[in-house]
């Protein structure tokens, strides 16, 4: 895989708007406890505008006041969207985990994260896909 892959699978602006209007629960893979990192302040912003944030992180018990899970499979309630703050190489496994759950509607890879093979897999399974876009920036741009 190239170091800087161009996203060939992506949602357009209208689809992104519909995503934000329909999702309620967002699992965040790689949600950091460090407030200076985008993987903390982006989910904190989404939480502040009304989304339920579900942290997935290898350490910590709570982040942003929410129980931390170690994997997507451990979450015992429905998840609408998975927001990914991890290296592109792990997105194949994330897509598989989303497909295995069966309830994930949106596969969102944050800014600078692109894996077209994983995106194709998620799209083929019926998920909407966003790659190389910041969910906070996109949400603010919609003025919601």
Which backbone phi and psi does 26 adopt, to 5 degrees?
-120, 115
Query: What is the predicted pLDDT for the residue at 143?
Result: 79
DSSP result, 11-64: --HHHHHHHHHH--EEEEET--S-TTSHHHHHHHHHHHTTPEEEEE-SS-SEET
**Distance separating alpha carbons of residues 8 and 10, to the nearest angstrom:** 6
Residue 3's pLDDT is: 56
pLDDT digits (tens, 9 = 90+) for 29-70: 999 999 999 999 999 999 999 999 999 999 999 999 999 999
Q: What are phi and psi of 5, to 5 degrees?
A: -75, 140
Give the pLDDT confidence of 75-112 residue by residue, as tens digits. 999 999 999 999 999 999 999 999 999 999 999 999 99
pLDDT beyond 60 at 1: no
**13-142 adopts what CATH topology?**
Rossmann fold (3.40.50)
What are the tens digits of pLDDT across the range 120-134? 999 999 999 999 999
The domain spans of the chain are: 13-142
Note the pLDDT tens digit of each residue in 5-26.
Answer: 777 777 788 899 999 999 999 9
Share of the chain above pLDDT 90, in %: 88
Which residues lie across from 26 on neighbouring strands? 53, 81
Burial label for 114, CB within 10 Å (0-12, 13-18, 19+), is buried
Output the pLDDT for position 2: 46
- Of 106, 108, 110, 109, nearest to 134 (Cα)? 110
């Amino acid at each position: 895989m190239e170091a800087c892959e161009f996203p060939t699978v992506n949602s357009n602006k209208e689809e992104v708007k519909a995503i934000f209007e329909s999702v309620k629960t967002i699992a965040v893979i790689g949600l950091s406890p460090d407030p200076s990192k985008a993987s903390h302040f982006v989910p904190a912003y989404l939480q502040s505008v009304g989304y339920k944030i579900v942290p997935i992180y290898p350490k910590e018990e709570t982040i942003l006041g929410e129980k931390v899970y170690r994997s997507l499979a451990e979450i015992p309630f429905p998840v609408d969207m998975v927001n990914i703050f991890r290296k592109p190489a792990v997105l194949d496994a994330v897509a598989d985990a989303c497909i295995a759950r069966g309830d994930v509607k949106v596969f969102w890879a944050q800014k600078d994260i692109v894996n077209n093979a994983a995106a194709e897999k998620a799209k083929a399974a019926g998920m909407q896909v966003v790659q190389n876009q910041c969910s906070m920036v996109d949400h603010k741009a919609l003025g919601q």
